[in-house]
Amino acid sequence: MPSWMLQGAPYKGLFILVLVFVALEYIFNTVTETRNAIFNATRSYQLIEEKLTYGPAAPNHTKKANLSMDLSNLHYIVTVPPALIGVNLSTTYVTTVKRESDFTAENGTSTDKPPCADITQTLYGRVPIRKYPIPSLESLEKKFDWLMPGGHWSPPKCTVDKRVALVVPFRDRGGHLLLFLQHMHPFLRKQQLDYTIFVVEQEGNGPFNRAMLMNVGYSEALKSGKFDCFIFHDVDLLPEDDRNLYSCPEQPRHMSVAVDMFQYKLPYPAIFGGVSAISTAHFKLLNGFSNCFWGWGGEDDDMSNRIRYHRLYISRYPITIARYTMLSHRKDPPNPSRYDVLKKGQKLFDKDGLNDLEYVLVMKKEKLLYTWILARLMNHTSDHHHR
Ligand code: UDP
Ligand code: MN
């Protein structure tokens, strides 16, 4: 063996070391640059809604009137069968949401607070996500002592013109709920929102009906107070960026655009599941969600169809901002008839939804961190779908 080769060995090691060093330096710089880019972007950041129209236009039978909709003058009447709501009065515990402004009024102090200033300058982009340890309810109640009963907060020194209700469909995911509350309250307060969190729990062990729980949340929230819009929120999705504003949308807004579990990509353009926001007027117009989806899947696509049918469109924030971490859970078995229900549902938008919603309100209670609603859901799917 020639001597230069033997001598080469230590040089080879040194060479690799230098290479590794250069690579590390490069990686470090990229990370720092990305971080700076995020931080710099924040300073001059303006939220722009990304409009996204999808699929074919509304079918021919769509009422023409919807094209030039005057939302202030909606004459869409929603009736909920009164007999079945809150029947069991002995176990029903109903209170109303008291707002900070109500207290101010009671105390006789001035109610003409100035409108809240633009908060976009105070947002800083990515926020930390904590998946463990799971906090205790008591520790959260102690930590968020600035909350008003019912999971409500609004800026004490200024007024916000829109009131937001977060509706969380729920059953048997206690750990997720605690992590969700731990994350959301500071997040929403930072955005200077007037908000209330409603956790709508399904009673019993029957198939879960996410969409119907949203309808229940909507109805019960409006009984407690005035809300300008609703944000329907899976309990296992945590927003990663505080520029993702939980404000009221002009058009239905799909919010969970980029989820870590889906490699931060939008799975398909018409998707409306996970987290979505709709104004109260639009939700009424759409007749809410369908009540016919029992078990996993389909209900969000049906809502997507409703939106298109009424010639509204799905708006989205940019993919770099509308980012979420999903907490892990076992996958529920998909409802095998979801495509069938989805297909038949196209003719049922006006029959199936808020105006045939039936449930028993088993419990409604204002906890500090959220308003808890427990509902027994009535199944009328077969009335519609097997005729
Ligand atoms: N959910 C719940 N308990 C259940 C099933 C669903 O609380 O047993 C609620 C919860 O808010 C959850 C949402 O419904 O985030 C959507 O269900 P899931 O997370 O199972 O759907 P996926 O993430 O698989 O689409
Ligand atoms: Mn999930």
Of 216, 271, 332, 372, which is best to mutate to test ligand 1, by the most ligand atoms within 8 angstroms of its C-beta? 332
Q: Is the pLDDT of residue 206 over 90?
A: yes
Is the domain of 229 the same as that of 82? no
- Does the pTM exceed 0.95? no
Is the domain of 190 the same as that of 277? yes
Is the domain of 244 the same as that of 281? yes
More confident site: 84 or 296: 296
Give the number of the atom of ligand 1 that is nearest the alpha carbon of residue 273. Answer: 25
Angle formed at CA 62 by CA 61 and CA 64, multiple of 5 degrees: 110
The CATH number covering residue 339 comes to 3.90.550.10
Angle of helix 299-309 versus helix 338-345 axis, rounded to 10: 20
Of 178, 203, 210, which is best to mutate to test ligand 1, by the most ligand atoms within 8 angstroms of its C-beta? 210
Residue 98 — pLDDT band, cuts 50, 70, 90?
Answer: very low
Check pocket membership of 234 for ligand 1, CB cut-off 6 A.
yes
Residue 241 CA, ligand 1 centroid: distance in Å: 22
- What average pLDDT score do residues 322-349 get? 93
Give the number of the atom of ligand 1 that is nearest the alpha carbon of residue 172. Answer: 3
Domain of 302 in residue numbering reads as 137-385
- Which DSSP state fits 43? H
Contacts of 264 (CB under 8 A, 6+ apart): 258, 319, 323
Check pocket membership of 299 for ligand 1, CB cut-off 6 A.
no
Is the domain of 108 the same as that of 165? no
More confident site: 282 or 6: 282
Q: Which protein residue's CA is at the shortest distance from atom 13 of ligand 1?
A: 234
| Secondary structure of residue 82 in the 3-state scheme | helix
More confident site: 335 or 104: 335
Number of C-beta neighbours around residue 303 at 10 A: 28
Q: Is the pLDDT of residue 10 over 70?
A: no
Is the domain of 166 the same as that of 284? yes
Is the domain of 16 the same as that of 50? yes
Residue with tokens 């040194």: 14
**130 falls within a domain:** no
Is the domain of 267 the same as that of 369? yes
What is the pLDDT, as a whole number, of residue 120?
81
What is the pLDDT, as a whole number, of residue 134?
97
| Secondary structure of residue 295 in the 3-state scheme | coil
Check pocket membership of 233 for ligand 1, CB cut-off 6 A.
no
What is the pLDDT, as a whole number, of residue 376?
98
What is the pLDDT, as a whole number, of residue 316?
97
pLDDT for 48-78, tens place per residue?
454 444 333 333 333 322 222 222 222 222 2
What is the pLDDT, as a whole number, of residue 87?
25
**379 falls within a domain:** yes
Is the domain of 284 the same as that of 147? yes
Q: Which protein residue's CA is at the shortest distance from atom 3 of ligand 1?
A: 171
Structure tokens given for 277: 């926001």
Assign 3-class secondary structure to 137-192.
HHHHHHHCCCCECCCEECCCCCECCCEEEEEEEECCCHHHHHHHHHHHHHHHHHCC
Q: Are 152 and 166 in contact (CB under 8 A)?
A: no
What would the DSSP string read from start to end of 86-154?
S--TTT-----PPPHHHHHHHTT----PPBPPP-GGG--SB-----SSPPPHHHHHHHTTTPBTTTEE-
Number of domains comprising the chain: 2
What is the pLDDT, as a whole number, of residue 89?
23
Residue 300: nearest ligand to its CA?
Answer: 1
pLDDT for 246-258, tens place per residue?
999 999 999 999 9
Contacts of 214 (CB under 8 A, 6+ apart): 167, 169, 200, 230, 232, 288, 289
- What average pLDDT score do residues 318-343 get? 95
Q: Pick the closest to residue 63 from 285, 301, 229 (CA basis).
A: 285
Mean pLDDT, the chain, as a whole number?
A: 81
Is the domain of 158 the same as that of 299? yes
Rounded CA separation 112/212 (Å): 39
The domain boundary residue, chosen from 90, 122, 154: 122
17: phi > 0 → left, psi -120 to 50 → alpha, else beta; which?
alpha
Q: In angstroms, how far is CA 375 from the centroid of its own chain?
A: 20
Check pocket membership of 316 for ligand 1, CB cut-off 6 A.
no
Check pocket membership of 243 for ligand 1, CB cut-off 6 A.
no
Check pocket membership of 303 for ligand 1, CB cut-off 6 A.
no
Rounded CA separation 292/338 (Å): 9
Q: Pick the closest to residue 332 from 301, 294, 372, 385 (CA basis).
A: 294
Check pocket membership of 384 for ligand 1, CB cut-off 6 A.
no
More confident site: 120 or 225: 225
Contacts of 128 (CB under 8 A, 6+ apart): none
Rounded CA separation 371/320 (Å): 32
**132 falls within a domain:** no
**316 falls within a domain:** yes
Check pocket membership of 169 for ligand 1, CB cut-off 6 A.
yes
What is the pLDDT, as a whole number, of residue 223?
97
What is the pLDDT, as a whole number, of residue 284?
98
Check pocket membership of 331 for ligand 1, CB cut-off 6 A.
yes
What is the pLDDT, as a whole number, of residue 248?
97
Q: Which protein residue's CA is at the shortest distance from atom 16 of ligand 1?
A: 234
Residue 243 CA, ligand 2 centroid: distance in Å: 22
pLDDT for 176-198, tens place per residue?
999 999 999 999 999 999 999 99
Is the domain of 117 the same as that of 142? no
**131 falls within a domain:** no
pLDDT for 263-301, tens place per residue?
999 999 999 999 999 999 999 999 999 999 999 999 999
pLDDT for 87-96, tens place per residue?
222 222 222 2
Could you give the C-alpha distances from 169 to 113, 173, 210, 371, in angstroms and in order?
A: 34, 10, 6, 12
- What average pLDDT score do residues 317-342 get? 95
Is the domain of 173 the same as that of 318? yes
Q: In angstroms, how far is CA 357 from the centroid of its own chain?
A: 21
The domain boundary residue, chosen from 122, 148, 183: 122
What is the pLDDT, as a whole number, of residue 307?
97
Is the domain of 218 the same as that of 332? yes
